[in-house]
């Protein structure tokens, strides 16, 4: 290359500022892209489902996720219950390796965790279990936090799903199980309950947690309630009305459902007699907006049930020192320490 050509490509010492200004002017002159007016093609809804242990969250979610996939949606189901039973119905009773146990094994072997080690699929539904420690060997809530930390390393926020459904145990109140609500990790919450006091107590606690974090600036709301094992006594319906949340579906207490669930049979299929029920639930779950609930007081919650069931007619009688020790408490005249004679 000639000396002249080299000099043509070298800027004089006095020109860097002028060159930068010119570059900025050229960049500013470029017209921005037009604002998009087409429909959004991919927006993931992350939904946390809470309920009392044994109320039927896993049954509801397995069939709901399966129906969503049959409707053409891309669905990820994540079990966040230490029992690791969320995916058992989906996989015909077969347990899949959990994130917690897989992570521990891989760490001991000095190997990284790959998505194929912890995520499995069936008929369009992707599913995984966070897992948890054995009884007395660790904190279940901490296991949840560790599991989500690993999911983030695996690219959780970049995955392209229509729905991510999180199955959480509602009657455990430690911080790990409240993670989606406390950290705005989901857009909305769904509670699963029945016509019994304990499941509605848990549902009310979840509503209280949502309202608490909304007051702190959170954005998570309650999309509604699924009534499972509905025997038509009406307490769950009354709770939802008082809490200001819609009932998304009422799954009847039917012997056919019970038997098929016990045999790990999916009933949320278009050809099933229960297909219309789960198709309607899938639509309601997708469209229901997150709302601020109105948690009930303890007395209001008990008021949903008859006094014969809850004992509201019982009068609380204060205990006395005589009741406790068999003798009357002696009131001492001063605050000084008085030693009894030996």
Find, among 284, 287, 164, the residue nearest to 226 by Cα: 284
Q: 260: helix, coil or strand?
A: helix
Q: In what order do the strands lie in the sheet with 125-129?
A: 120-122, 125-129, 75-79, 163-169, 45-51, 188-193, 221-230, 247-252
* Catalytic residue chosen out of the listed positions 57, 188, 229, 260: 57
Alpha-carbon distance of 37 to 28, in angstroms, equals 24
Alpha-carbon distance of 31 to 212, in angstroms, equals 46
Alpha-carbon distance of 132 to 137, in angstroms, equals 10
Instruction: Identify whether 33 is a catalytic site residue.
Output: no
Instruction: Identify whether 57 is a catalytic site residue.
Output: yes
Alpha-carbon distance of 196 to 67, in angstroms, equals 27
Alpha-carbon distance of 6 to 2, in angstroms, equals 6
* Catalytic residue chosen out of the listed positions 74, 83, 106, 121: 83
Alpha-carbon distance of 48 to 222, in angstroms, equals 9
Alpha-carbon distance of 86 to 80, in angstroms, equals 8
* Catalytic residue chosen out of the listed positions 52, 188, 229, 260: 52
Instruction: Identify whether 106 is a catalytic site residue.
Output: no
Instruction: Identify whether 259 is a catalytic site residue.
Output: no
Q: Where are the alpha helices (DSSP H) in 234-306?
A: 235-243, 255-262, 275-287, 298-302
* Catalytic residue chosen out of the listed positions 73, 121, 162, 171: 171
Catalytically active residues, by annotation: 52, 57, 83, 171
């Amino acid at each position: 290359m000639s000396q002249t050509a080299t000099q043509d490509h070298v800027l004089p010492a006095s020109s860097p500022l002028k060159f930068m200004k010119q570059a900025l002017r050229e960049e500013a002159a470029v017209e921005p892209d037009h604002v998009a007016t087409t429909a959004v093609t991919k927006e993931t809804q992350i939904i946390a489902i809470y309920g009392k242990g044994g109320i039927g969250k896993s049954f509801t979610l397995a069939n709901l996720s399966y129906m969503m996939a049959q409707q053409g949606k891309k669905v990820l189901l994540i079990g966040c219950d230490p029992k690791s039973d969320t995916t058992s119905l989906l996989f015909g009773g077969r347990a899949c390796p959990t994130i917690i146990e897989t992570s521990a094994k891989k760490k001991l072997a000095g190997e990284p965790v790959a998505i194929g080690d912890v995520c499995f699929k069936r008929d369009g539904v992707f599913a995984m279990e966070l897992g948890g420690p054995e009884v007395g060997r660790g904190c279940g809530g901490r296991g949840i936090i560790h599991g989500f930390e690993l999911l983030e390393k695996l690219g959780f926020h970049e995955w392209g799903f229509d729905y991510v459904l999180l199955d959480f145990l509602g009657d455990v109140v430690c911080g790990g199980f409240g993670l989606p609500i406390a950290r705005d990790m989901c857009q909305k919450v769904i509670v699963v309950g029945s016509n019994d006091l304990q499941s509605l107590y848990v549902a009310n606690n979840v509503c209280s947690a949502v309202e608490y974090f909304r007051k702190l600036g959170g954005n998570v709301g309650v999309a509604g309630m699924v009534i499972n094992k509905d025997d038509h006594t009406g307490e769950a319906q009354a709770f939802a009305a008082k809490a200001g949340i819609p009932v998304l579906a009422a799954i009847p207490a039917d012997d056919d459902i019970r038997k098929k669930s016990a045999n790990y049979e999916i009933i949320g299929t278009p050809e099933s007699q229960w297909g219309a029920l789960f198709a309607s639930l899938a639509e309601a779950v997708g469209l229901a907006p997150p709302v601020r609930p109105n948690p009930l007081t303890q007395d209001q919650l008990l008021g949903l049930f008859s006094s014969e069931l809850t004992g509201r007619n019982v009068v609380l009688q204060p205990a006395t020192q005589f009741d406790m020790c068999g003798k009357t408490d002696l009131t001492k005249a001063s605050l000084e320490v008085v030693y009894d004679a030996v």
